[in-house]
């Protein structure tokens, strides 16, 4: 029996000719990444292991993005632990305030991750890097600590689901809509500890930003990881961002998949996930009347340049409704500067939006945009569990940047098509 892309990557890093679903292996790690929450938790475990230094200062990455710039004393203490650890180990890739971006947008942009690599991160959305053909997955802080100390980790090889994409997305439909559609179809446990492997002619119609959004939310379907093929679109991205050598893998024709699911991209409409699960989806035509208190555009799911461009295109020359507030957070300093050079920041501010330095804070209800009881937020983030962005009696609705921007103008959830003059 042949192997999937994920199984080939894991076999190569375990020094084995082949692996099969369910097999326990020990694999070498190319990148170990943590943030200001998970590194602070991992450092005590790292000390307990007896390790004196990380296994490779080039391969351990620390990004301060969840509560930085520091929101309070506890956050400041966590960040100090990370800073001290990074300096003690002379880490090459340490991203503090001013250089820091949201980790899952930052690492591909900086060329730190590459196709064919095995990457673990102390954050559930580490599966994002599968967009460039890597095996990447989130781990707990104990595994993170041991990964930093040894450069290895245990894995159970996941079974796989093949998603065959056909057609091209329609106007105002992007990767976020595609993934919300898929999660709505299979459920939040529909890919539980599975690899979601995307292929088909439709892949070519998806930009890299679309693919990053899709793989980012694989965990919201319960998946261990997700992968896209390294095609011409991906190679062009790598040529611009990744200078280190890499290896791409393709699934064997006789690879074993538990399921094959076909997705016609042309049939997908802008999609919104209602509270309190990413699987509680409705198309924009089924939403009804939902007035809003806040709109958030950003996060590791939709804080990239295409997301900012889509929102700016709709907000240009318009004002956000005076019944709500709008926060826009570009995901990295590079994206922030690109938005500045392209005039997007001016567009956002003239429309009445608040624009922030890169941070994850709003997404997890940590800081920047926390919701009060009874408030409704339409967000381009990846998760809308009870209390996710603030009070347990608040509500979070998930959507694309296009729907978020149009709804910011309307004051309620609407399609971009509903705004007069939107092209």
292 and 336 in a single domain? The answer is yes
Asked if 259 and 391 sit in the same domain, the reply is no
Q: For residue 151, tell me if it sits in a domain.
A: yes
Residue 257, domain member (yes or no): yes
Yes or no: say if 385 and 359 are a contact pair by the CB < 8 Å rule. Answer: no
Residue where a domain terminates, one of 236, 264, 292: 264
216 located within any domain? yes
198 falls within a domain: yes
User: Distance between CA atoms of 402 and 218, rounded to whole angstroms?
Assistant: 21
Say what the pLDDT of residue 27 is.
98
Mean per-residue pLDDT pooled into runs of 10, the chain (423 residues): 94 97 97 96 94 96 94 94 96 94 97 98 96 97 96 97 97 96 96 97 97 98 97 97 96 95 97 97 96 97 97 96 96 97 97 95 89 97 94 97 97 89 68
What does pTM read for this prediction? 0.95
Strand-pairing partners, residue 32, are 60, 120
Whether 33 contacts 107, CB under 8 Å: yes
Residues 94 and 243 in one domain: yes
Domain edge (last residue) among 205, 234, 264: 264
Q: Does the bond joining 69 to the residue before it have cis omega, within 30 degrees of 0?
A: yes
Note the pLDDT of residue 189: 94
CA distance 165 to 357: 35
pLDDT at 419: 79
Position 422 scores a pLDDT of 67
Q: With contact defined as beta carbons under 8 Å apart, do 179 and 214 qualify?
A: yes
Domain count, the chain: 2
> Considering Cα of 267, then 202, then 302, then 420, what sign does the dihedral take?
negative
- Print burial letters for 378-410: b (CB count within 10 Å at least 16), e (below 16): bbbbbbbeeebbbeeebbbbbbbbbbbbbbbbb
Query: DSSP letters along 202-213, please?
Result: GGGGS-HHHHHH
């Amino acid at each position: 029996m042949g192997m999937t892309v994920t199984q080939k990557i894991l076999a190569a890093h375990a020094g084995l000719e082949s692996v099969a679903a369910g097999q326990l292996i020990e694999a070498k790690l190319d990148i170990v990444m943590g943030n200001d929450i998970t590194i602070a938790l991992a450092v005590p475990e790292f000390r307990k292991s007896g390790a004196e230094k990380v296994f490779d200062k080039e391969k351990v990455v620390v990004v301060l993005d969840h509560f930085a710039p520091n929101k309070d004393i506890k956050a400041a203490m966590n960040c100090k632990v990370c800073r001290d650890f990074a300096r003690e180990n002379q880490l090459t890739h340490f991203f503090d305030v001013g250089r820091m971006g949201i980790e899952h947008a930052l690492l591909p942009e900086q060329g730190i991750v590459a196709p064919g690599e095995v990457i673990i991160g102390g954050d559930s959305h580490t599966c994002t890097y599968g967009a460039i053909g890597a095996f990447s997955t989130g781990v707990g802080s104990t595994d993170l600590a041991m990964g930093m100390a040894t450069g290895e980790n245990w894995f159970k090889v996941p079974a796989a689901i093949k998603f065959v994409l056909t057609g091209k997305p329609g106007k105002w439909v992007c990767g976020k809509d595609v993934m919300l559609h898929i999660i709505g179809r299979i459920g939040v446990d529909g890919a539980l500890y599975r690899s979601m492997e995307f292929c088909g002619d439709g892949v070519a119609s998806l930009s890299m930003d679309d693919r990053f959004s899709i793989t980012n939310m694989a965990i919201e379907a319960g998946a261990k990881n997700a992968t896209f093929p390294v095609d011409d679109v991906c190679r062009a991205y790598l040529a611009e961002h990744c200078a280190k050598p890499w290896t791409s893998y393709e699934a064997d024709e006789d690879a074993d998949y538990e399921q094959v699911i076909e997705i016609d991209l042309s049939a997908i409409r802008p999609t919104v996930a209602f509270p309190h699960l990413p699987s509680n989806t409705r198309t924009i035509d089924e939403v009804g009347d939902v007035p809003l208190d806040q709109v958030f555009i950003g996060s590791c799911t939709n804080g990239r340049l295409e997301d900012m461009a889509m929102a700016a295109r709709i907000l240009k020359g318009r004002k956000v409704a005076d019944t709500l507030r709008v926060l826009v957070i570009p995901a990295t300093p590079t994206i922030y500067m690109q938005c500045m050079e392209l005039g997007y920041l001016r567009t956002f501010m003239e429309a009445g939006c608040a624009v922030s330095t890169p941070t994850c804070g709003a997404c997890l209800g940590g800081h920047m945009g926390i919701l009060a009881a009874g408030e409704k937020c339409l967000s381009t983030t990846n998760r809308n569990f009870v209390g996710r962005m603030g009070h347990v009696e608040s509500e979070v609705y998930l959507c694309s940047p296009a729907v978020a921007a149009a709804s910011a103008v309307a004051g309620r959830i609407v399609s971009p098509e509903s705004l007069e003059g939107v092209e």
